[in-house]
Structure 1
Amino acid sequence: MEPPLLVNTEDIAALYRELSQFPSLSSACIGPEITTQYGGKYCNIYTEWSQRDLERAENVKFCRQYLIFHDSQSIVYSSPSGNCTEIKGELLSRDSPSGAQKAVLRKTSNNKGEEKQFLEVWEKNRKVKSIELSALEKHGQVYEDDQFGCLAWSHSETHLLYVAEKKRPKAESFFKAKAPELSVEEELTKTEQGDKAIKGEQFVFYEDWGETLVAKSVPVLCVLDIESNNVSVLEGVPEHISPGQAFWTPGDTGVVFAGWWHEPFRLGLRHCTNRRSALFYVDLTGGRCELLSDDTKAIWSPRLSPDQCRIVFLENMAYGPHQQCSRLCMYDWYTKLTSTVVEIVPRQSQGEFTGIYNTALPERCWAADSQRVVLDTVQRSRQELIVVDMRSGSVCSLTKGSPLGSWTLLTIDRDLLVAKFSTPNCPPRLMVAFLPPAGKEAEVNWVCLEESNQIQEITWNIHTLHPPPEQDNTQYAGLDFEAILLRPTEAPEKVKFPLVVTPHGGPHSVFTISWMLYPAVLCRMGFAVLLVNYRGSLGFGQDSVASLPGNVGTQDVKDVQFCMEQVLQKEPLDPQRVALLGGSHGGFLSCHLIGQYPSTYKACVARNPVVNIASMVGSTDIPDWCLAEAGLPYDQSALPDPKQWTEMLLHSPMQYVDKVQTPVLLILGEEDRRVPPKQGLEYYHALKARGIPTRVLWYPGNNHALAGVEAEADGFMNIALWLIQHMKL
């Protein structure tokens, strides 16, 4: 029996509008602790959220505050403080260490549409500083991204540290008419100010850091003296290093930062935690720069302990898989020694810790005792909060006994934890708890500050898969993997749901049991959705990650197909109505599957898919990915030889295009630097030439994520209608 399915365009649009209104929780900070006249304590929690506004075609950012009454060990009472307020123009904001002041980096536009950046300082109920940074002409645009960007108060609260683009020399045409001659004094003044334009430099190419970091080329560390309004650019950073993620040293004598090598050229940095980088210290007085960590690895997210004695950071091997299992390392400021606190985990023991997989530590992650660190990490198909004892290296889960779902740490301050929790049928909730004393972490008691209604119409579960013996990887034998299945809850007996199979991108990424808009809407429409964490996904141990390079297009493809076949046998699903939906490497797998199993899938949707690794290598911001995932060595100074070009092609879905029978919808972002849209067009032309029904959606102003509100909404509607049309629903 076929279940009722939502097929009317207006009904689908209304459903998408309804579910897209659930906001996403992006950040939180905790205000100073206040003691009342009766001895009770309370503090304020400031949170920032983001919500899609379909009418304005943008993500709206807003804040909400909450009051927490506590006794330093447990929460006595909590309540929202007023309603939400939209935030406009804020790029970055940070409270000072005492909480008495707040710094804000703000973007504004004038009547001519010209953008300006202001650095503001707020105190109590007023703005005490507003400095137009662009007018000072000390640097270019300030970086607001989470790769390089920072806004750090000095411990004395007299200076602000941030990262900006290095000021470029002015350029002019060779043929520009000469200006009237200046006096010797005017000429000297102009030269000293660096205003003299250089001829012929108007169109010089400045290499940037790729996807989502376009126009970010040479970052510099900048310091604002709040009293004098003077901005200075720090000297001493090596020429071959791009600095970011900076903070003040104990005593404010210098700055510690993560530095990425950019010679001989820059490789894409977003989602690539394998780029050669190290921890550095630059002295403010002498401009001396000192290397603090191994300079052959990749590091990120350095965080100073409350007692200002230790710096924790994450470390990976340089090159290889773009994301992998990481080490948690610690640098002692006074002994100058670096130690590994949590090692890479090759393989998970039964039910045990699988390692650390994290793209960024929260800005505040240390417990008040400066001996423990709290972070979130993927553990198989879940995201959990863990606490690490920095002396012993022991790891304890803070969420194991809590509701099953995915947890993200937003901040911890004075041992008050603020976290986000969600599941595939529960939009994000705001959770708070006090971190128990060392050794008693499992006794944590979570309190929900902001509820969200569970969507009763969606049911989900996790399937564990063991590949058949003939598909086992002999080098990494015995690996298993998982998949998350969402399906409609209410169904008459013997109903079989149409199935949308979705492998994730990366390939070294993972689906977790968290809130995701597209799967939720598809499920509410009447589809079952299978999210596949094939071997090579994060969260299953480093062996799983290492098993995939050299085997893309075979091992991952077989995992998805095997998973789909197994779930069809165990769940009420219709084998005659199965479709594919994947993006990036998930699109790569979707195109492989319709070529290798041409009679299985009734429809396919590929978002910014990799279709030909050989043709992608010369146009992507991550050429190393193309060789590494094909199992080949990467050398920045060497071109691939003919055998390597062939090998890359033989790992690509393009080799199976002659076998494709499935109608394909391609969704492409015009500004995609990761998988340039010509990849999708290459596949489109090949399918058109062979008479396969195909269509392209082309979104200007969108990059690899296709996350623009308009593109995301329009893309979903077209996906839904494509599935309905070609699955004969």
Structure 2
Amino acid sequence: MGEVWKMGCHMETVIKAYKTLSKIPSIVGGKLNSQGNRVTSRWSIRNLDRGKHTQYMIDYFLDTNLKVLSESEFAVDVSHEMLTAVSPKENYRAVIREEKEDKEYSQRKLYLEVWTKTTLKLSVDLISLDIHGDVYADSEFGCLEWSSDEKHICYIAEKKIKKSEPFIKRKPVDDKTKDPDEKMADDKNKDFDKKPTLTPGEEHIYREDWGEQMMGKNQTVVVVFRIADETFSILENIPDNLCPGQVRFTPNGDALVGVAWNTSGVRRLGLIYCTNRPGYIFCYTLTGKMKKLSEENKAVRSPRFSPNGDLVWLQREAGGPHHACHQLVRMSANTINSVIESDDYDVCDEISVVIDIVHNSEDICNEEIFYGIYCQSLPTKCFSSDGKRLIFSTQQQNEIRSYVVDIESGDITDISNNKENPGSTSVLSVQADVILASWSNMTTPGQLFAAKLPAAGQECEISWVRVSAPPATPPTPGTAVQYLSLRYNHEDDAVASFGALYSGRAAGAACPLLVWPHGGPHSAFCNAYSLEAAFFNALGFACLLINYRGSTGTGDASVFFLPSRIGTADVADCKLATEKAIELFPINEEKLLLYGGSHGGFLVAHLSGLYSGFYSVTVARNPVIDLATMYNTSDIADWCSIEAGFPFTDDGPNTEDHLLALRRVSPIVHAHKVTTPTAIMLGTKDKRVPYYQGLEYSRMLRANGVNTKVFMYEDNHSLSSLPVEMDNLINAADWFISMIKDK
């Protein structure tokens, strides 16, 4: 790692570091065929010239020992494939493809294609068909599923809205020059060519959508495509206050099961990253009846069928913190069949808990410790061939770990690929008792591994085999990764411990430290490859990624500890973690840098106000600055009240104490104390933390004489589109280096 802040022409080095790291691909998906001997992997790489990520596909063919026999001669660009699914008997492959048709690439087209193994069987222009709006390919609603007989495909799309026009609009007059016979023919064809009636004055009616990164997604419909005659049907009798998604056919194809989110409230709240939204698992029969399968007042997601026809899903209580521990629950195939056949079958007593909410931790097989389920979805294929065991991955302290759970007994066994090197293992697919997973750590980019699922009771003996080739050289040589376990010795709080990850020099000359709390706040950093962390390491910075109390992966008690304590407990944790890092590692105490986004931006703004003489410079990305003003403009108003410590209601804070509570926990109360140079990166399309928060903060800092710089991007909350990522990362590094180079 070079000491870039000492260099005269540091920008060239910074840009070179980013360009080098941008050429490292990442794994975005992978599937196994039904025999478990062919891997179809999907990768993504930053294409700087196009300003977009290019996605491509590579196939690997495995022998009986899972060694690679051969692989694709060349990778295939699949960037235009929004959704893809191979049929159950592997006779067909369905694709929903996005294309730009005109020379200016503004005319968007969507096609549903069905391929055989040798040719294109059919292609349908969904835009010209005009039976629904956009197709959903996001992680919340999106799906593309085959029926077991390979005769039907289902997916989720935006409901077609009736067209409107202005109250006053000139229209074409009849062509009086036409021959009378022509006019008579036109009159006869009027009924066939009749255009839909336009309703005047409704084109500007406000329609609520699902918020951040889901603008324009208002009301979903389930679309079923019949292959034989190329006909489409929109499922009817789904109430208007429900938005269905994550739909799949039952094993025998006589019904559909999915998730329906409730939109009955006065205000629709944002959905992405929020696993607390109320809804239920539903069943839709071929007779057109929709029936609830899950309990009331639950937040549910990720329904999956076992080979035996049992249905499992993830659930937690609705409301509360945006992300928390989940149960894994199960409904038997017999119960589901009874629901389909009966009109008044009560299923609430037929739901069994496979894995319950974990409050702190629990012991599992082989003397391991388990902290609960925090993943937002299960693998699409996640069962053993006999349907008796389920394989999944979830955050656990500083790593993503993978597990096998016995559906009947609830026994859990850790099968993570960590025997040689610590890191994170994420299961991608399970077929024919072969498991496909990705593995990485902070110094090693993602790689594919496969393993045979051992016999029941012997899962800990699993042996992982590398599928994809490892990187030729590590992207950040000399970087060490260490886990920090931190605890308050005299703390009366119910939760007194938390963790952090350090990546940087373990010994040698002192270097700057990037103090980096995550957003959320109910998320977590893990020891997995990140271009962002590798970028700063490559420039000679050490990184301290802090999983303060309230982070996921350490028991539900930690998650629920933070609400009513934001701005105090999480800030204290960041300060303690910084002091511990200085004690343990070669850190230059005059070069302590603050870096964070969203709630991480909230924390670095707090720290720079409370400890301005301690920290040297700040970069905040879409930071939460004032909860009192954010409440009325964010797509997650509930976040403000829940984290401040009082219940959310649609009519807003109803007492002066509530308004004061929102203000008191906000970093804006410390803005007058800030002296650290501060750069702020903002997105104009941010629906989660409106950009005016950062602008207001920057004006206050400038009024107080603080060196402040604002970067404004046409992007959403994540600031993750490729041109924006490139610009804000390079400018962040430049800001840090410029502010500390003379210290």
- 1:400 deviates by 6.5
Q: Which residue of the other structure, out of 42, 48, 68, is the alignment partner of 2:42?
A: 48
Q: Distance in 2 between matches of 1:605 and 1:77?
A: 45
Q: What SS does the aligned partner of 2:663 have?
A: helix
- Name the amino acid aligned to 1:685: R
1:411 and 2:422 aligned: no
Q: Which residue of the other structure, out of 578, 599, 617, is the alignment partner of 2:592?
A: 578
Q: Distance in 1 between matches of 2:187 and 2:330?
A: 56
Q: Which residue of 2 aligns with 1:391?
A: 408
1:150 and 2:143 aligned: yes
Q: What SS does the aligned partner of 1:450 have?
A: coil
Q: What SS does the aligned partner of 1:129 have?
A: strand
Q: Which residue of the other structure, out of 393, 397, 417, is the alignment partner of 1:376?
A: 393
Q: What SS does the aligned partner of 1:118 have?
A: strand
- Name the amino acid aligned to 1:90: E
Contact 1:79–1:449 at 8 Å: present in 2 too? Answer: no
Q: Distance in 2 between matches of 1:139 and 1:577?
A: 55
- Counterpart mapping for 1:261-340 below 5 A: 261-264=262-265, 265-284=267-286, 286-307=287-308, 309-336=309-336, 337-340=350-353
- Deviation string, structure 1 residues 315-342 (Cα, Å, up to 9, x no partner): 0111111011111111223135211110
Q: Distance in 1 between matches of 2:735 and 2:520?
A: 25
- Counterpart mapping for 1:648-727 below 5 A: 648-700=662-714, 702-727=715-740
CA RMSD of aligned residues (A): 1.9
Range 372-381 or range 450-459, more displaced = 450-459
Unpaired runs of 5+ residues, structure 2, are 175-182, 337-349
Range 567-576 or range 321-330, more displaced = 567-576
Q: Which residue of 2 aligns with 1:464?
A: 485
Q: Which residue of 1 aligns with 2:645?
A: 631
- 1:624 deviates by 0.2
Q: What SS does the aligned partner of 1:334 have?
A: helix
Contact 1:78–1:449 at 8 Å: present in 2 too? Answer: no
Contact 2:249–2:255 at 8 Å: present in 1 too? Answer: yes
- 1:179 deviates by 5.6
- Deviation string, structure 1 residues 407-430 (Cα, Å, up to 9, x no partner): 111111111111110111001111
Q: Distance in 2 between matches of 1:374 and 1:594?
A: 43
- Name the amino acid aligned to 1:310: D
Q: Which residue of 2 aligns with 1:121?
A: 114
Q: Which residue of the other structure, out of 4, 7, 20, is the alignment partner of 1:18?
A: 20
Q: Which residue of 1 aligns with 2:438?
A: 420
Q: Which residue of 2 aligns with 1:31?
A: 33
Contact 2:417–2:425 at 8 Å: present in 1 too? Answer: no
Q: Which residue of 2 aligns with 1:37?
A: none
Q: Distance in 1 between matches of 2:254 and 2:443?
A: 50
- Deviation string, structure 1 residues 489-508 (Cα, Å, up to 9, x no partner): 6x64xx21111100000000
Q: Distance in 2 between matches of 1:348 and 1:596?
A: 34
Q: What SS does the aligned partner of 1:263 have?
A: coil
- Name the amino acid aligned to 1:87: V
Q: Distance in 2 between matches of 1:441 and 1:349?
A: 19
- 1:188 deviates by 6.2
Q: What SS does the aligned partner of 2:428 have?
A: strand
Q: Distance in 2 between matches of 1:525 and 1:352?
A: 37
Contact 2:517–2:600 at 8 Å: present in 1 too? Answer: yes
- Name the amino acid aligned to 1:389: D
- Name the amino acid aligned to 1:424: M
- 1:5 deviates by 4.8
Q: Distance in 2 between matches of 1:32 and 1:483?
A: 40
| TM value normalised by structure 2 | 0.92
Contact 1:457–1:524 at 8 Å: present in 2 too? Answer: no
Q: Distance in 1 between matches of 2:316 and 2:711?
A: 37
- Counterpart mapping for 1:479-518 below 5 A: 479-488=496-505, 492=508, 495-518=509-532
Q: Distance in 2 between matches of 1:103 and 1:174?
A: 43
Q: Distance in 2 between matches of 1:272 and 1:190?
A: 46
- Name the amino acid aligned to 1:728: K
- 1:186 deviates by 6.7
Q: What SS does the aligned partner of 1:621 have?
A: coil
- 1:728 deviates by 2.8
Q: Distance in 2 between matches of 1:342 and 1:93?
A: 31
Does the C-alpha gap of structure 1 residues 213 and 3 become closer, same or farther in structure 2, counting only changes over 3 Å?
A: closer
- 1:84 deviates by 1.4
1:132 and 2:92 aligned: no
Contact 2:681–2:711 at 8 Å: present in 1 too? Answer: yes
- Name the amino acid aligned to 1:293: S
Q: Distance in 1 between matches of 2:209 and 2:222?
A: 17
1:58 and 2:73 aligned: no
- Name the amino acid aligned to 1:296: N
| TM value normalised by structure 1 | 0.94
1:547 and 2:561 aligned: yes
Q: What SS does the aligned partner of 1:247 have?
A: strand
Q: What SS does the aligned partner of 2:21 have?
A: helix
Query: Identity over the aligned pairs, expressed in percent?
Result: 35
Q: Distance in 1 between matches of 2:682 and 2:651?
A: 31
Q: Distance in 1 between matches of 2:544 and 2:435?
A: 33
Q: Distance in 1 between matches of 2:255 and 2:237?
A: 11
Q: Distance in 2 between matches of 1:78 and 1:306?
A: 29
- Deviation string, structure 1 residues 463-494 (Cα, Å, up to 9, x no partner): 1000242xx353x14x31111001136x64xx
Q: Which residue of 2 aligns with 1:728?
A: 741
Does the C-alpha gap of structure 1 residues 637 and 561 become closer, same or farther in structure 2, counting only changes over 3 Å?
A: same
- 1:643 deviates by 1.9
Contact 1:297–1:315 at 8 Å: present in 2 too? Answer: yes
Q: Distance in 1 between matches of 2:361 and 2:217?
A: 39
Q: Distance in 2 between matches of 1:717 and 1:298?
A: 39
- Deviation string, structure 1 residues 580-606 (Cα, Å, up to 9, x no partner): 000100000000001111211110000
- Name the amino acid aligned to 1:318: A
Contact 1:467–1:559 at 8 Å: present in 2 too? Answer: no
Q: Distance in 1 between matches of 2:408 and 2:638?
A: 37
Does the C-alpha gap of structure 1 residues 136 and 22 become closer, same or farther in structure 2, counting only changes over 3 Å?
A: same
Q: Distance in 2 between matches of 1:629 and 1:188?
A: 59
Q: Distance in 2 between matches of 1:514 and 1:401?
A: 12
Q: Distance in 2 between matches of 1:4 and 1:93?
A: 44
Q: Distance in 2 between matches of 1:354 and 1:340?
A: 16
